[in-house]
Amino acid sequence: MIEAKSLTKKFDAKTALDKISFSIGSGSLFGLVGSNGAGKSTFLRTAAGIYRPDGGEILVDGMAPFENSAVKSRLFFIPDYPYFIPQSTLTDMADFYRRYYPEWNRDKFEKLCGIFPIGKKDKIVNMSKGMQRQAAVICALSTQPRYLLMDEIFDGLDPVMRQLLKRIISSEVAERRMTVIIASHNLRELEDVCDHVGLFHRGGILLERELDELKLGIHKLQAVFRPIPLMSAFAPLDIVKAETRGSLVSLVVRGHREEILKKINSMGPVFSELLTLTLEEVFISEMEVAGYDIENILK
């Protein structure tokens, strides 16, 4: 379990993380979303023990990761631009990591090298951005980490590799109860793979929720009425957002699917349907309710 308690990190006068508090349970796939400069990468680096917090604390399995080899041996961090030893090959990197990570698994390394189309003897510096990320993932998973922290991991990967990566990560979580944190500003990538999400904004966490709870508890309702009833007629519904265009009423409504349908059908619509919101739409709705200009936050 990773717990942030009033975690603060400053870079000179700029506060990158401002007293954030939340926790990430073991075995979860946690998506960190937010715009550029929101503090996602800083949070990951602090969790990986690279940065020392300037206030509060971050605990991994109850221990602070900074200068704690015992904790770090269970963690692996893939930054947005992974670094490799100059002039090294994947084999060299494997030799490097096996020295430090007690759970290094050579068989897994060989297996992953077979899955990802990468030459073990090729110099990593000559590889494309996407291949370098694949190399980083191979090394990371071969250390069999209990916590895998990844920053913008899908950048540069082609759609096939993205799906492959998501599948491998999901199976690792299922098999070993590995906890994964993925930071991204791309909500569509995260909603396929994550079970929890947290929204960062200007060093703070605006929202942290289970994805199913978030998505199943809110729906988009579209209904055609002739004539259109007064808005007060929709009062039994927990409306987040309402919009009327001609005879079409579009509502974002909280609540269970069946209950919403029952209530709306009792009003005698010509046509009605309940749609599932994308993660981005959910965030936009929730944040607007909270008073944030979410479109700007997620830009």
Number of residues that bind another protein (CB under 8 A): 28
- Least separation in angstroms between residue 9's CB and another protein is 9
Interface residue with another protein among 72, 185, 196, 215 (CB under 8 A) is 72
CA neighbor of 211 nearest in space, from 193, 189, 235, 230: 193
Q: Taking CB under 8 A as the rule, which mask of x and - marks residues 203-242 in contact with another protein?
A: ----------------------------------------
Interface residue with another protein among 21, 25, 26, 70 (CB under 8 A) is 70
- Least separation in angstroms between residue 105's CB and another protein is 15
CA–CA gap between residue 77 and residue 137 (Å, rounded): 10
Q: Per CB under 8 A, does 148 bind another protein? A: no
| Tokens of residue 18, six digits | 């401002």
Report 5-34 residues binding another protein (CB under 8 A): 11
> For residues 73 and 278, which CB has a smaller minimum distance to another protein in the complex?
73
> For residues 18 and 210, which CB has a smaller minimum distance to another protein in the complex?
18
- Which residues in 72-86 are b (16+ Cβ under 10 Å) and which e? bbbbbbbbeebebee
**Cα-based angle 185, 63, 16 (whole degrees, multiple of 5):** 35
Interface residue with another protein among 7, 48, 153, 279 (CB under 8 A) is 48
CA dihedral 49, 53, 56, 62 (to 10 degrees): 10
- Least separation in angstroms between residue 151's CB and another protein is 9
Of 18-26, 65-73, 113-121, 244-252, which part binds another protein (CB under 8 A)?
A: 65-73
- Least separation in angstroms between residue 48's CB and another protein is 4
Report 73-112 residues binding another protein (CB under 8 A): 73, 75-77, 79, 81-85, 95-96, 99-102
Q: Are 91 and 43 in contact (CB under 8 A)?
A: no
Q: Are 55 and 206 in contact (CB under 8 A)?
A: no
Of 46-54, 117-125, 177-185, 198-206, which part binds another protein (CB under 8 A)?
A: 46-54
| Interface with another protein (CB under 8 A) | 11, 45, 48-52, 67, 69-73, 75-77, 79, 81-85, 95-96, 99-102
